[in-house]
Amino acid sequence: MSTCEFIDTFPAFLAYWAKVQDKPLDDQIEGWATEYMSAWPELLSKQIEEYSSQNLDWRQIARGKVFPYLTERLSAMRQARQNLLELGKPLFSRAQQVLAFDSNAVFVIYVGIGCGAGWVTTFGGSPAILFGLENIAECGWSTPKAIMGLVAHEIGHLVHHYWRTQHGKSTGRGPWWQLYEEGFAQRCEELIKDSGTWHQMSSDDDWLDWCKSHKGWLAAKFLRTVDAGEPVSAFFGSWLKICGKSETGYFLGCGCMKELEKRFTLQEIALLENVEVHLRPILEQMMETSD
């Protein structure tokens, strides 16, 4: 059976941070790139390219949203890192059994510039999950229960990409793809953990109950947003919220996956094309049947 390898950059971050934590913000940011991240140039370039692809200035994001809070979040980052190291491999092994896939993976633990608590990509030519401790701490997901959910969710993304690559299927774009992709990962999180708790509940106790009671409204809002040609980022980003709730699109997407499972296997769902054709009718049904 395949295994996952850890690349833990946190000790290097602590050494760098001990030298710069009392320096001006711009010096901290420059040192992050030239000192701490210099040992992992691929990791640095991925983060910078992520912002540049959105026409955003990574230094401005780092200055406004990340570096002013690193000191106060240090304890949470330590806790998250420890839980990732302890829980990552057992969860990966369980996921391989539950989802029936066989792929090596690299888990990279790092302190970044807000690109995400988890990010499925490649690293050193291998399938990888990048775990951003700064985002994990910000979201309040450092506890063992939250880390289990986050890791399971990201493994769901990893499996999705793995299956599609194996079958020569390309990755899509746009709001319907995002709903499909995040919904698939959220459903995998449920299956791997075999529980009714989601990692979003770790920082918001009534998140799931609220989503369930607003399911029809959320479905209608998503459809209106898409049909108006407006961005759906408020349904997915941890920095954006709808009625005070973040990542509500994950809930909608997971609901869509459960409906699709009535007709398809999980792997068949992972290989779908033209996902709007499959998802739009489900959202319309959610909207019409909601109380």
Choice between 84 and 2, residue whose per-residue pLDDT is larger:
84
Residue 85 confidence class, pLDDT cut points 50, 70, 90: very high
**Phi and psi angles of residue 233, each rounded to the nearest 5 degrees, phi first:** -60, -30
Q: Is the pLDDT of residue 38 over 60?
A: yes
Helices (H) and strands (E) in the chain, counts: 13, 4
- Residue 155's contacts (CB-CB under 8 Å, 6 or more residues apart) are 91, 92, 95, 99, 105, 129, 188, 192
How many C-beta neighbours within 10 Å does residue 197 have?
Answer: 15
Choice between 63 and 194, residue whose per-residue pLDDT is larger:
63
Choice between 240 and 94, residue whose per-residue pLDDT is larger:
94
- Per-residue pLDDT reduced to its tens digit, 136-154: 999 999 999 999 999 999 9
What letters, b where the CB count within 10 A reaches 16 and e where it falls short, cover 154-185? bbbbbbbbbbbeeeeeeebeebbebbbbbbbb
> What number is the average pLDDT over the span 64-71?
97
Give residue 178's pLDDT. 96
Q: Which residue has the tokens 């990201």?
A: 154
Give residue 3's pLDDT. 82
Please tell me the distance from the alpha carbon of residue 106 to that of residue 4, in angstroms, as a whole number. 5
Q: Residue ranges per domain, the chain?
A: 1-171, 173-291
Q: With contact defined as beta carbons under 8 Å apart, do 186 and 118 qualify?
A: no
Q: Is the pLDDT of residue 179 over 70?
A: yes
Lowest mean pLDDT among 2-6, 65-69, 161-165: 2-6
How many C-beta neighbours within 10 Å does residue 34 have?
Answer: 11
Beta-bridge mates of residue 118? 131
Give residue 1's pLDDT. 56
> What number is the average pLDDT over the span 219-224?
96
Q: With contact defined as beta carbons under 8 Å apart, do 154 and 181 qualify?
A: no
Give residue 207's pLDDT. 84
How many C-beta neighbours within 10 Å does residue 190 have?
Answer: 19
What's the Cα-to-Cα distance from 211 to each of 86, 98, 198, 217, 281, rounded to whole Å? 31, 26, 12, 9, 19
Tell whether pTM > 0.75. yes
Lowest mean pLDDT among 94-98, 100-104, 183-187, 283-287: 100-104
Strand order across the 105-110 sheet: 4-8, 105-110, 126-132, 118-123
Give residue 205's pLDDT. 73
Q: Identity (one letter) of the amino acid at 239?
A: W
Please tell me the distance from the alpha carbon of residue 211 to that of residue 208, in angstroms, as a whole number. 5
Residue 203 confidence class, pLDDT cut points 50, 70, 90: low
Residue 197 confidence class, pLDDT cut points 50, 70, 90: low
What letters, b where the CB count within 10 A reaches 16 and e where it falls short, cover 78-114? ebbbebbeebbbebbebbbebbebebebbbbbbbbbb
Please tell me the distance from the alpha carbon of residue 270 to that of residue 268, in angstroms, as a whole number. 5
Q: What percent of the chain has pLDDT over 70?
A: 95
Q: Is the pLDDT of residue 20 over 90?
A: yes
Q: With contact defined as beta carbons under 8 Å apart, do 114 and 32 qualify?
A: no
